[in-house]
Structure 1
């Protein structure tokens, strides 16, 4: 018997969620569904935010290096496969909008150089840009944060038609220099706008520099929500449109209501992408802040049997060979769109902070950090750049550590108040009881040096992740990350909430 394998490549996940990369089969069906969902999403967006044919897209997109598995298959991240595919070219033709950057910039392999060139070309074509996008909101925020430091060099390059010496990749240099040409008047206009923006802490950067842009488009749910405040700051009132719902395993749903803010977005399931089952989840306490692993599971039901208001975990059987794969995503059915369920993403089911009887999820942590950062902003006018956490079990009693990178000068007294506020904001009953009985120690807030989370990004990219798929881990036990975090800690504060 002859066995013919049609699968020639595999996806690798970024590994930033739990520190390990997953490998998922990639076939022609994967490419077709990607093209289909992008075309569908573009059609729904164009109803609300019509774009000009022949316009451009400022896309902060990045490929990583592909590699061979022991079995001889080509492997790489999902975005790497897609950006190198014929479907990526077809998508631009179908939507009549074309990315500002050539393939040499997307696949350059150095995210700092690629980001610089994305920004340069985006500004060179600034009047033609219809919208701004990236896979995750994080990538857009990091690009504009970088722009605050390099805008003068970019203006100089546009003025003279040159390219900064910071770009040393030969193919990238050649590709970019073949596109740009001297434009002193444009450079002067951008320089004038940037000087004004600098005095306003870059508020409304996007609308000022890309005056014809209609919206910002990216994944903004789940672990991306902490970046919404900064993204809105840069967008200056421009619409933020949440991108579609998918995973490394399969695409799931499309945003059919792009006018809704990211916090209210739902996703209509595309029934032909995979075979979907939904595992009903029940809990006595319906407070979203409670620990979700206390769910009682029922038998999975098919797509046609789901009920509005019920929470489920998604189970996938895919055309690429995965059978009854549990995603670990908790979703709620918010309604229906022409018979197919519209899903509201609630959170990842996995507990990320637990020491004994305490159970806290990524959403619990986000709510706690949000309260602490609000205090930081009101008391010190400082900004939380990024955060992660760790359940410290080596010392007794064990305790939570939250790592903050902040922008601005903050007095130690204010940081102490933030630490206390966060500790008192965990509502999980197991945590509260454990803190009161001293079986969990005081929350520890570690302030890390500026640039620490860039080091974390570089750590993951060095291990094969692509910037397009990077998500800051919200909790980690990874020794490499903890070494970076603890080595960069400049202040340690302990909560007095239960003293």
Structure 2
């Protein structure tokens, strides 16, 4: 299939900005500062500097020397004033009428982040750009359908009357979301009423019913996160008989679907299809007998791939997702972004999710990079000093001064710093990336992990990545025995001395106590942080505790977050928690407790 002219236009534009990335970055910073010159936060640091008439290169040097690095804590008082109704120019000169909510699963609480039309525009831009690169490898038909497991949360008004909701909610409700479908000629299976039902189970059921109804037309399956696809397909195993019945009769189960607006919107679209229902029933009976391996290509035979965010905390779901995708359906990693800003596009959709790189889009924000070094690794000779930069995260990395996009080096690890059109200035994102190479003049990034320190008792310092590697190693005896690790989280218990790590596992399948004991020992020994190893040997940190929870526990955790304002489209299982409600759920659902013998 030939590429469309619109695909050529968007990739041509990107190649141009990538070629001139350094110049584009200076121009982007100048535009941001010109647009927001006089805003209270900027005036605090830049005073009345004549931004408009200053050379872009000089302005960049002045900006990074005068405006300090910031975390969300530094900007939160300004954002709260905006939420409470202060209309004076605090962070931007442009009025902020909408606030995004982060998922709250990373740091345990939801954060407000300014959201403007620029946010929706860049979302549309990166979706079109990514679709253009995917279509080169996996061409899709115009007029095809997308089975999207997407969910909007309820928007609410802040004290000052601003609309607040998740970033995905704002996008799904935006004009840009409709433009994406019109311009790519691919349409989501589900109407707005399903996406915004407020009940993820009812939405998921309808996503499936419509996805099956349009089965021959479905070109690919997607969700924001890999977890969303896995969670939906897990529910499908319980729902399929009801779905086949509704598909055959052109009905909608009154037992499952109770929201009137959903019922009307779906019933307006479907009609009885006995032959399709019979075909799907026969496929499901086969799949049920084989553990649902290859479910997606069996039921959506024209689907070209599955697309979602699969890096970082989503990697533990890849094995299950590959099980559902079968042996040949590609898994395509979606693009790299955050609630604060989009960052990079996946130009190579054939890359395995574990090896994917994201090419930074230099027009989305002004980017800086803090070089990171382990204490026992010396920085390159070009660096005269290694400093602990103000506002650090408290982990055991040393930091050098931030560098612009044009000065990053292949193989070096960095923390990303953002300056955005929405009023975030030299904002530490907390994401650790490694530069894998360059496309033209813009870097290609490997996402490594979230920098935030998550597990510590005393001198030990283990990140999310350290935990994931330990769980991966510790779960091998479990997997070799034929069982499956469904999900996990952790907690640093410092109530009883010596403090120790508690790791909670939900398991599918039967596992002997001997195997679980082996898992516990392997996981404890897999934490290689020097502080942890020393503390375990001296017994100033106690043996790791493995708690096996009953099936459905992590579903209860998800429902707790959704009940408190999160949405399925942004939900991520917290990998470490101090939340007392979650710990109560976990401990009440614990059916087995084991202690490590790794250091006996």
Query: Which bin holds the TM-score, normalised by the shorter protein?
Result: over 0.9
Distance 1:6 1:394 in 2: 47
**Alignment RMSD:** 1.5
**1:366 is the counterpart of 2:455:** no
Per the alignment, residue 267 of structure 1 pairs with 358
The normalised TM-score by structure 2 is: 0.81
For 1:355, the equivalent position in structure 2 comes to: 457
Structure 2 residue 385 is matched with structure 1 residue 279 = no
Give the conservation status (yes or no) of the 8 Å contact 1:312–1:332: yes
Normalising by the residue count of structure 1, what TM-score does the alignment of the two structures yield?
Answer: 0.97
Q: Secondary structure at the match of 1:16?
A: coil
- 1:171 is aligned to 261
SS across alignment from 2:569: helix
Is the 8 Å Cα contact of residues 292 and 349 (structure 1) preserved in structure 2? no
User: Which structure has more strand as a fraction of its residues?
Assistant: 1
Query: Is 1:196 aligned with 2:298?
Result: no
Change in 2 beyond 3 A, CA 1:491/1:228: same
Gaps of 5+ in 2: 1-37, 39-87, 378-392
Partner of 1:410: 511
Aligned residue for 1:187, secondary structure, equals: helix
8 A Cα contact 1:59 1:133, kept in partner: yes
Q: How many residues are matched?
A: 495
Q: What are the residue-to-residue correspondences of 1:63-74 with 2, within 5 Å?
A: 63-74=152-163
Q: Deviations over 1:459-495 (max 9, x none)?
A: 0001100000000000000111101101111111111
On the 8 A contact 2:370/2:417 being kept in 1, the answer is: yes
**What is the CA–CA distance in structure 1 between the aligned matches of 2:540 and 2:220, rounded to whole Å?**
51
1:294 Cα deviation after fit: 2.2
Q: Which residue of 2 aligns with 1:293?
A: 395
CA distance in 2, matches of 1:100, 1:334: 37
Q: Quick one: which of 446, 454, 473 aligns to 1:344?
A: 446
Shift of 1:6: 2.3
Query: Corresponding residue for 2:343?
Result: 252
Residue by residue over 1:180-218, the C-alpha shift from the partner in whole angstroms, topping out at 9 and shown as x without a partner, is: 111000000000000000111000000100000000000
> Deviation digits for residues 210-239 of structure 1, max 9, x if unmatched?
000000000000000000000000000210
Corresponding residue of 2:410 = 308
1:155-188: per-residue Cα shift (whole Å, max 9, x none)? 0001110111110000000011111111000000
Deviates most, 95-104 or 367-376: 367-376
Look up the match of 1:401.
502
Most deviating of 272-281 and 4-13: 4-13
Radius of gyration: which is bigger? 2
Give unmatched runs, 5+ long, in structure 1. Answer: none
Contact 1:292/1:361, CA 8 A, preserved across alignment = no
* Counterpart-to-counterpart distance in 2, 1:330 and 1:363: 10
Counting only pairs closer than 5 Å after superposition, residues 78-227 of structure 1 correspond to structure 2 as 78-165=167-254, 166-227=256-317
> What residue is the counterpart of 1:26 in the other structure?
115
Separation in structure 2 between the aligned mates of residue 310 and residue 5 of structure 1, nearest angstrom = 37
SS in 1 for 2:475: helix
For each residue in 1:110-143, what CA deviation from the matched residue of structure 2 results, as whole angstroms up to 9, or x when unmatched? 0000001101111111110000000000000000
Give the structure 2 partner of residue 484 of structure 1: 585
* Structure-to-structure mapping, 1:488-499, within 5 angstroms: 488-499=589-600
Quote the offset at 1:293 in angstroms. 2.7
